[in-house]
Structure 1
Amino acid sequence: MPGYSELDPGAVLEALDAVGLRGDGRLLQLNSYENRVFQVFLEDGDVVVAKFYRPGRWTDAQILEEHAFALELAQAEVPVIAPRGLQPAPDTPVPVALAGDPPTLATLGTAAAPHRFAVSDRSAGRAPELEDPLVMEWLGRFLGRLHAVGATAPFQHRRTMDVATFGTAARQRLLDGRFVPEPQDVLWAAASEQALVLAQQAFDRLPGARQLRLHGDCHPGNILWRDEGPHVVDLDDACNGPAVQDLWMLLSGDRPTMSMQLESLLEGYESFMRFDRRELTLIEPLRTLRMIHHSAWIAERWEDPAFPAAFPWFGTAAYWQQQTQQLREQIEAMGE
């Protein structure tokens, strides 16, 4: 499966031409490690964002579930940036296949560059002021509305946020690929194993906990704030899982500060969606899964030239010593 080496500006403009969106020659590559994302200025004066999916990461069915969820949220007037419907341009020299109902996923038909992409409207905003209780309450209302839609039916093709997928499998990929150098490999392996046992025990203590369709990666960088409130710009990691997964990454600071933030968040959330407060015991297990999964995510993409440049410390003894220490801290936190 090819990577992004052939995705130069000419190829991006050619791809958009194939779906009837003719660029005026100006484009800007936006910050994204996972996919390649471009802001493209069109001849008609409009500006769109084109996301080219990382080859091999998702199946078409998984991408189309992401798109369908975004469109369902938009239909319910939950502020998300949903993909545009696409159609092939007449007499395009580049074969393009479209999928979805409406068609939202395009695949270039050339053997040399079978890139899949989606197009959305450009949307601007600023980072939310998480220290403001009113902002946190507003974010809670927003997530409550998102989860009310997400609770109506599960994803059938996308992943589930659980220990096996985001912890055990990620850990094994790191060990099998020998990404952890000696002698840190033994120490990290022991700490990660113990941490995942505790994480699984925490999940096991909540039998029958509700599983929702989630944003999945709801950190502040994926939320844009405008005068009319928040909206999300990236559902690339949408998954099934517990509601608290979309809440905990918005908390920061010491424990008293996070407790106040959480109360504001839940005050807004429960205006639209009941929250099972037993799920608060999953915050540290979920943080543990994110740590291990993030290391595996970097390792799996190490052949992409963007990753060694962006994460030069990955693979060093210092990095894995730090990871081992943080896992030990997580073991202590989960044991409290």
Structure 2
Amino acid sequence: MTASPPSPDLPYAGLTPHAVLDALDAAGLRGDGRILQLNSYENRVFQVHLEESLDPQAAPPAVVVAKFYRAGRWSDAQILEEHAFARELAEAEVPAVAPLALHAPPEAPTALTLQGRPPTLATLEHWRFAVSPRCGGRSPELEDPSVLEWIGRFLGRLHTVGARRPFAQRLTLDGSAAARTSVQWLIDSDRLPPDALHGWHDTCLRALDAVDTRLRRHGPLELLRLHGDCHVGNLLWTSAGPHFVDLDDAVNGPAVQDLWMLLGGDRQEMQAQLGALLDGYETIREFDRRELTLIEPLRTLRLIQHSAWIARRWDDPAFPIAFPSFESPSYWSQQTTLLREQIAAMEDEPLVA
């Protein structure tokens, strides 16, 4: 592996399959040469088949998933909090995928460092990575109320663990401040087409004012550790039920943040879905129904932050390919329309279940 750090424009340019296998080998996980890159924009994630161990009792899984973290996004302490939360969930028999404990072999390069208790975060030169067992599954059938109830029970168990203590290092989702910073960054970045800038900016500020109004009406939030990015793409289903992957966006926040992204369709459909989720959730843990007024504010914050996320990653060659319309006036016109719809939605009556 090269010792030169990757350029901001090509953050993963040096992360070849050979580099991935060398990194895992340094941490005592020898691949057999079979490697597959998995879908991920923010980090780089690989499925790697390992050679058989001479000691079956100490052998790692036959197939692992290695995640190489994007430089500059999270600190080591924030990543380790994510890992500790995942392992705490696993110890409580909540079906979440936790990172493996890593052990440097005697021949490991001196440049390798391991962090965590147990060690779960490896750094080799400029690459930081973690390794977890491969856990397969399929997309859940969210149109089935019994599936939603099962997911609700799972989330109730996850939140029971999450409520034990807050994150000390990771972000807290409790207002519009972060989104306002993102809006100003976008304005200063000159990413927006000039003819779309004023309308989008004005609508953003009105939407964020509406978010703050809703939050003030709600009053103090009960914050707990959350998955944070709880959508169907991060949920895998097996015959044993659901399990979540990718706690990369774990935050402190209100419980409803882990519920609303599983809802879809028209208002009647979303109310039915929400009812099934809460039927399961409330068999495990009490849910404050006042938090239903936060669904549209949280959706608004995510909408704004998503545009800022794309803009901040635009120099990564993967992003122009994935979001080809991002620099066009039509994209920003659509975003402005969506934000206006969110302003109206925040004035409507909230969902009930």
Corresponding residue for 2:269? 257
Residue number among 80, 83, 97 corresponding to 2:96 in the alignment: 80
Aligned partner of residue 243 in structure 1, secondary structure = coil
Contact 1:18 1:94 in 2 (8 A): no
Query: How many pairs align?
Result: 332
Give, as a single letter, the amino acid of the residue that structure 2 aligns with 1:316.
Answer: S
Residue number among 83, 104, 107 corresponding to 1:91 in the alignment: 107
Residue number among 34, 43, 48 corresponding to 2:51 in the alignment: 43
Computed over aligned residues only, the root mean square deviation of the Cα atoms, in angstroms, reads: 1.1
Corresponding residue for 1:302? 314
Residue number among 75, 85, 99 corresponding to 1:69 in the alignment: 85
Q: Return 5+ residue gaps in structure 2 as ranges.
A: 54-61, 349-353
Deviations 1:82-111 (A, max 9, x none): 000001122134621000000000000x3x
Deviations 1:197-245 (A, max 9, x none): 0001111122222101000000000000000100001100000001000
In structure 2, distance between residues paired with 1:77 and 1:204: 37
Aligned partner of residue 106 in structure 1, secondary structure = strand
Contact 2:176 2:208 in 1 (8 A): no
Aligned partner of residue 155 in structure 1, secondary structure = coil
Give, as a single letter, the amino acid of the residue that structure 2 aligns with 1:231.
Answer: H
Corresponding residue for 2:326? 314
In structure 2, distance between residues paired with 1:273 and 1:169: 34
Q: How does 1:1-336 map to 2 (within 5 A)?
A: 2=6, 3-44=11-52, 46-93=62-109, 95-108=111-124, 110=125, 114-336=126-348
In structure 1, distance between residues paired with 2:177 and 2:136: 34
Once the two structures are TM-superposed, the CA of residue 290 in structure 1 deviates from its matched residue by 0.6
Give, as a single letter, the amino acid of the residue that structure 2 aligns with 1:104.
Answer: T
Contact 1:174 1:296 in 2 (8 A): yes
Contact 1:166 1:292 in 2 (8 A): no
Deviations 1:107-136 (A, max 9, x none): 00x3xxx11000000010000100000000
In structure 2, distance between residues paired with 1:320 and 1:145: 39
Give, as a single letter, the amino acid of the residue that structure 1 aligns with 2:253.
Answer: G
Task: Work out the percentage of aligned pairs sharing the same amino acid.
Answer: 62
In structure 1, distance between residues paired with 2:77 and 2:36: 29
Return 172-181 or 224-233, whichever deviates more. Answer: 172-181
Aligned partner of residue 45 in structure 2, secondary structure = strand
In structure 2, distance between residues paired with 1:65 and 1:257: 36
In structure 1, distance between residues paired with 2:110 and 2:337: 52
Contact 1:251 1:258 in 2 (8 A): yes
Contact 1:17 1:89 in 2 (8 A): no
Contact 2:153 2:282 in 1 (8 A): yes
Instruction: Summarize the Cα distance change of 1:301–1:126 in structure 2 as closer, same or farther, 3 Å threshold.
Output: same
Aligned partner of residue 130 in structure 1, secondary structure = coil
Contact 2:37 2:47 in 1 (8 A): yes
